[in-house]
């Protein structure tokens, strides 16, 4: 009846995961109880859970990502503290638990921290920057988000029911085959990633269609803001790469569940084929994460330098070059696995070539700042920190792209340092830059700058300490994924890196405090005009937070930097654009489809993990019925009357007019 699931699945004998799981469960239950008792449930259901508004969904993606980043960071703290005490000793984490922790750390950070953060920012900002009302398929967008959340839920359930994979963040066979990993850990990994992978793929389809087919009148491709270009490249990569991951994990599932022989190394199977396919997804994935972050930096640097982006077209070319090249380098993840010199050589060269367009980008950002009036806000600090540290990560990447060097350094802490260096400085710094930059647009008030800057300085200092030590440890010969060690030379560097994690933790605390302080002081941080940073693209042309329909009338675009042109004209003429003729606007109705689908997919995933076949069948049936019920709807949108549109838009126009005259008077004085 319940498959493999028994009471023994709850790890009563292991205090660390049990206590951690209990604390998390208590917090989650507490939040749910508070929501229900305080009567917020109807509001949450109406305005967030069933919302198909791209701004709400984008915000929910970012909230999920922030929570999961904290979860992943707590794994990092466990690993650093284990190393701090595991010198010639076992430490406090037994090997089978330590293995789960580094696996969970990688999975959570990549799939449920970095991915949702980037997708959330794209979801929020791209339709606004394109000057349209929503993404192409609003309900599908909600489905995507909830499927991602479903995957995240499954990974976290593994904390208290059963176990997580001990194979590392890519489940390398034959270790991940059922012979060597008979438990449910790898199954948790597989089903969580399959479910969230479907969500990611659908979100990629959605955003590509939005960017290619829905833009404000006059916005040709070469007038799109840089962030839209990088979002286009990133989502095209999602469409091209995620099906490979789905197929590869499906093969591993068939190996594990039905005794197939894709990767078993017996009966003609070949475990190296897994590596090949996995990294054919895995390397594009790096750019799926990094490209939107490059877009954020482009927006932030241009805005806070008060200048248009330098060499916009070369930046577009560089983005698209990275998009194509990223699909031609995947072998550099397994140089040492046995391909000959010719194959290694070709992939080494393509890997090094990627540094060229990336270098173009760095120079474009530098020249954007050159001669500009640079404002060192929090978002700008993250961007500067990125440029300094990312160059180091890129240089070590070029070093690792040389096969002979890779033969020495592969699987060492040097490699760990390299990919954390590029991932943290590009993706995480980019995420925080975007978070600080677009927060006032999403919620109507700015984040506190003092705490933001404190978070930046602690964060980057701790980051440099931790991964500087890792580079050195790698050169001293330390390999990755060691549960304990007894080399005296490593000891001081490991202790320093543990100190670095403490510094990063302080940065994290500052980040949380920043949010709390900003919410409490929101009245003094209020963004009344909708343009708090003197921005240049269309998202700043509407109110903060934007009305549900984004724009009362779609803006006409006549060149690059659409909003800057509108604003400059307004400043010259000391008056706003002509008021548009208001017309009623049709918007899609809210729908619980996404939430219900995710509910059923969580059931399917959980049932498959524990071999509860009837529950899985019921879940599939439920999901199909949900789709048909959704497809059977007759009323799918509602109309916002012209008077309502006029009221909302006039309110924003009056604050903008006030600001315009205020600025004019200051200039006159």
Residues 304-363 that bind another protein (CB under 8 A): 324, 327-328, 330-331, 337-340, 342-343
Q: How many residues bind another protein (CB under 8 A)?
A: 83
Closest approach of Cβ 214 to another protein, in Å?
4
For the record, the structure tokens of 583 come out as: 């017309």
Closest approach of Cβ 460 to another protein, in Å?
36
Nearest alpha carbon to residue 189 among 281, 308, 108:
108
As a whole number of angstroms, the distance between CA 181 and CA 165 comes to 8
Applying the rule CB under 8 A, the residues between 397 and 456 that interact with another protein are none
Closest approach of Cβ 326 to another protein, in Å?
11
Neighbours of 184 (CB within 10 A): 22
Does position 221 interact with another protein (CB under 8 A)? The reply is: yes
As a whole number of angstroms, the distance between CA 237 and CA 244 comes to 11
Does position 236 interact with another protein (CB under 8 A)? The reply is: yes
Q: Measure the CA dihedral 305/308/311/314, to 10°.
A: 100
Closest approach of Cβ 197 to another protein, in Å?
11
Does position 581 interact with another protein (CB under 8 A)? The reply is: no
Does position 262 interact with another protein (CB under 8 A)? The reply is: yes
Closest approach of Cβ 75 to another protein, in Å?
30
Does position 212 interact with another protein (CB under 8 A)? The reply is: yes
Does position 637 interact with another protein (CB under 8 A)? The reply is: yes
DSSP 516-535: HHHHHTTTTTB-SSS-TT--
Closest approach of Cβ 169 to another protein, in Å?
20
SS3 of 427-449: the string is: HHHHHHHHHHHHHHHHHCECCCH
For the record, the structure tokens of 514 come out as: 């920043």
CB closer to another protein, 70 vs 178: 178
Does position 8 interact with another protein (CB under 8 A)? The reply is: no
Per CB under 8 A, the segment of 16-24, 197-205, 359-367, 567-575 that binds another protein is 197-205
Does position 589 interact with another protein (CB under 8 A)? The reply is: yes
CB closer to another protein, 614 vs 624: 624
CB closer to another protein, 50 vs 368: 50
Per CB under 8 A, the segment of 469-477, 535-543, 563-571, 625-633 that binds another protein is 625-633
CB closer to another protein, 2 vs 343: 343
Q: Classify residue 62 by burial, with Cβ atoms within 10 Å: 0-12, 13-18, 19+.
A: buried
CB closer to another protein, 105 vs 133: 133
For the record, the structure tokens of 293 come out as: 């972050």
Q: What is the gyration radius of the CA atoms in the chain, in angstroms?
A: 25
Contacts of 32 (CB under 8 A, 6+ apart): none
As a whole number of angstroms, the distance between CA 250 and CA 244 comes to 10
Nearest alpha carbon to residue 585 among 647, 637, 652, 651:
637
Q: Are 377 and 449 in contact (CB under 8 A)?
A: yes
Per CB under 8 A, the segment of 374-382, 410-418, 560-568, 578-586 that binds another protein is 578-586
Q: Measure the CA dihedral 289/291/294/296, to 10°.
A: -70
Contacts of 156 (CB under 8 A, 6+ apart): 24, 71
Of positions 2, 41, 247, 366, contacts another protein by CB under 8 A: 247
Closest approach of Cβ 331 to another protein, in Å?
6
As a whole number of angstroms, the distance between CA 197 and CA 189 comes to 12
CB closer to another protein, 285 vs 527: 285
Does position 206 interact with another protein (CB under 8 A)? The reply is: yes
Q: Are 533 and 495 in contact (CB under 8 A)?
A: no
Of positions 10, 25, 67, 273, contacts another protein by CB under 8 A: 273
Closest approach of Cβ 339 to another protein, in Å?
5
Does position 260 interact with another protein (CB under 8 A)? The reply is: yes
Nearest alpha carbon to residue 128 among 545, 433, 655:
545
CB closer to another protein, 207 vs 504: 207
Of positions 246, 461, 479, 655, contacts another protein by CB under 8 A: 246
Does position 634 interact with another protein (CB under 8 A)? The reply is: yes
Closest approach of Cβ 538 to another protein, in Å?
13
CB closer to another protein, 220 vs 568: 220
For the record, the structure tokens of 445 come out as: 């008030």
CB closer to another protein, 44 vs 324: 324
Applying the rule CB under 8 A, the residues between 56 and 85 that interact with another protein are none
Burial readout 493-530 (b: 16 or more C-beta within 10 A, e: otherwise): bbeebbbbbebbbbbbebbeebbebbeeebeebebbbb
Applying the rule CB under 8 A, the residues between 530 and 549 that interact with another protein are none
Q: Are 189 and 107 in contact (CB under 8 A)?
A: yes
Does position 242 interact with another protein (CB under 8 A)? The reply is: yes
Structure-token match 């260096």, residue found:
421
Structure-token match 């009148």, residue found:
217
Contacts of 621 (CB under 8 A, 6+ apart): none
Classified as helix, coil or strand, 586 is strand
Neighbours of 111 (CB within 10 A): 24
Per CB under 8 A, the segment of 218-226, 382-390, 398-406, 505-513 that binds another protein is 218-226
CB closer to another protein, 204 vs 440: 204
Closest approach of Cβ 131 to another protein, in Å?
9
Of positions 205, 502, 570, 646, contacts another protein by CB under 8 A: 205
Helices within 131-270 (DSSP H only) = 138-157, 185-213, 226-258
CB closer to another protein, 201 vs 504: 201
Per CB under 8 A, the segment of 85-93, 206-214, 357-365, 366-374 that binds another protein is 206-214
Of positions 9, 10, 18, 272, contacts another protein by CB under 8 A: 272
Q: Where are the beta strands (DSSP E) in 429-584?
A: none
Per CB under 8 A, the segment of 135-143, 384-392, 416-424, 600-608 that binds another protein is 135-143
Strand pairing partners for 585? Answer: 640
In the shown chain, the binding pattern of residues 156 to 195 toward another protein, with x for contact by CB under 8 A and - for none, equals ------------------x---------------------
Strand pairing partners for 526? Answer: 445
Per CB under 8 A, the segment of 152-160, 363-371, 558-566, 579-587 that binds another protein is 579-587
CB closer to another protein, 368 vs 591: 591
Of positions 55, 80, 97, 215, contacts another protein by CB under 8 A: 215
CB closer to another protein, 44 vs 247: 247
Per CB under 8 A, the segment of 262-270, 363-371, 487-495, 564-572 that binds another protein is 262-270
Nearest alpha carbon to residue 111 among 73, 162, 143, 65:
65
Does position 586 interact with another protein (CB under 8 A)? The reply is: yes
Classified as helix, coil or strand, 472 is helix
CB closer to another protein, 128 vs 369: 128
């Amino acid at each position: 009846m319940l498959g493999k699931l028994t009471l023994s699945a709850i790890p009563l004998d292991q205090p660390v995961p049990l206590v951690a799981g209990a604390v998390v469960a208590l917090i989650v239950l507490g939040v749910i109880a508070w929501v229900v008792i305080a009567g917020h449930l109807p509001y949450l259901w109406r305005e967030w859970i069933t919302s198909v508004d791209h701004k709400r969904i984008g915000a929910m993606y970012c909230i999920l990502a922030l929570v999961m980043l904290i979860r992943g960071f707590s794994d990092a703290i466990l690993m650093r503290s284990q190393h701090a005490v595991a010198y010639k000793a076992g430490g406090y984490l037994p090997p089978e638990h330590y293995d789960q922790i580094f696996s969970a750390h990688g999975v959570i950070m990549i799939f449920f921290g970095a991915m949702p953060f980037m997708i959330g920012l794209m979801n929020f900002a791209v339709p606004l920057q394109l000057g349209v009302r929503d993404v192409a398929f609003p309900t599908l967008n909600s489905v995507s988000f909830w499927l991602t959340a479903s995957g995240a839920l499954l990974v976290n359930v593994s904390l208290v029911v059963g176990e997580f994979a001990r194979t590392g963040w890519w489940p390398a066979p034959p270790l991940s085959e059922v012979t060597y990993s008979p438990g449910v850990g790898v199954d948790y990994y597989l089903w969580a990633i399959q479910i969230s992978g479907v969500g990611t793929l659908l979100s990629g389809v959605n955003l590509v269609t939005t960017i290619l087919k829905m833009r404000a009148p006059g916005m040709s491709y070469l007038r799109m803001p840089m962030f839209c270009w990088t979002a286009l490249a990133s989502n095209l990569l999602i469409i091209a790469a995620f099906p490979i991951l789905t197929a590869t994990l499906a093969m591993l599932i068939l190996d594990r569940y039905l005794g197939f022989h894709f990767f078993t190394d017996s009966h003609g199977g070949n475990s190296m084929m897994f590596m090949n396919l996995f990294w054919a997804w895995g390397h594009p994935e790096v750019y799926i994460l990094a490209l939107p972050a490059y877009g954020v930096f482009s927006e932030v640097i241009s805005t806070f330098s008060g200048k248009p982006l330098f060499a916009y077209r070369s930046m577009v070319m560089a983005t698209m070059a990275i998009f194509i090249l990223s699909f031609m380098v995947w072998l550099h993840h397994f140089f040492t696995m046995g391909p000959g010199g010719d194959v290694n050589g070709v992939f080494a060269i393509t890997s090094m070539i990627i540094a060229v367009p990336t270098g173009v980008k760095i120079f474009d950002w530098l020249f954007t700042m050159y001669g500009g009036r640079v404002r060192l806000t929090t978002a700008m600090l993250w961007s500067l920190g990125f440029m300094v540290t990312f160059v180091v990560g890129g240089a070590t990447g070029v070093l690792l792209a040389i096969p002979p060097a890779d033969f020495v350094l592969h699987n060492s802490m040097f490699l760990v340092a390299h990919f954390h260096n590029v991932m943290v400085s590009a993706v995480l710094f980019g995420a925080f830059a975007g978070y600080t930059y677009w927060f006032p647009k999403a919620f109507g008030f700015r984040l506190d700058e003092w705490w933001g800057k404190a978070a930046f300085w602690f964060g980057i200092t701790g980051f440099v300490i931790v991964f500087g030590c890792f580079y050195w440890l790698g050169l001293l010969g330390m390999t990755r994924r060691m549960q304990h060690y007894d080399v005296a030379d490593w000891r001081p560097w490991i202790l320093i890196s543990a100190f670095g994690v403490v510094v990063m933790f302080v940065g994290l605390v500052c980040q949380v405090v920043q949010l709390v302080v900003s919410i409490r002081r929101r009245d003094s941080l209020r963004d009344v005009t909708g343009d708090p940073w003197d921005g240049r693209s269309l998202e700043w042309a509407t109110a903060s937070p934007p009305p549900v329909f984004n724009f009362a009338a779609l803006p006409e675009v006549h060149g690059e930097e659409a909003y800057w042109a509108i604003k400059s004209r307004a400043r010259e003429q000391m008056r706003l654009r002509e008021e548009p003729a208001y017309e009623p606007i049709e918007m899609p109705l809210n729908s619980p489809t996404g939430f219900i689908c995710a509910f059923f997919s969580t059931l399917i995933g959980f049932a498959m993990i524990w071999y509860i076949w009837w529950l899985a069948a019921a879940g599939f049936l439920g999901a199909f019925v949900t789709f048909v019920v959704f497809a059977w709807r007759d009323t799918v949108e509602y109309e916002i009357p012209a008077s309502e549109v006029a009221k909302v838009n006039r309110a924003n126009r009056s604050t903008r007019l006030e600001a315009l005259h205020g600025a004019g008077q200051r200039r006159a004085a």
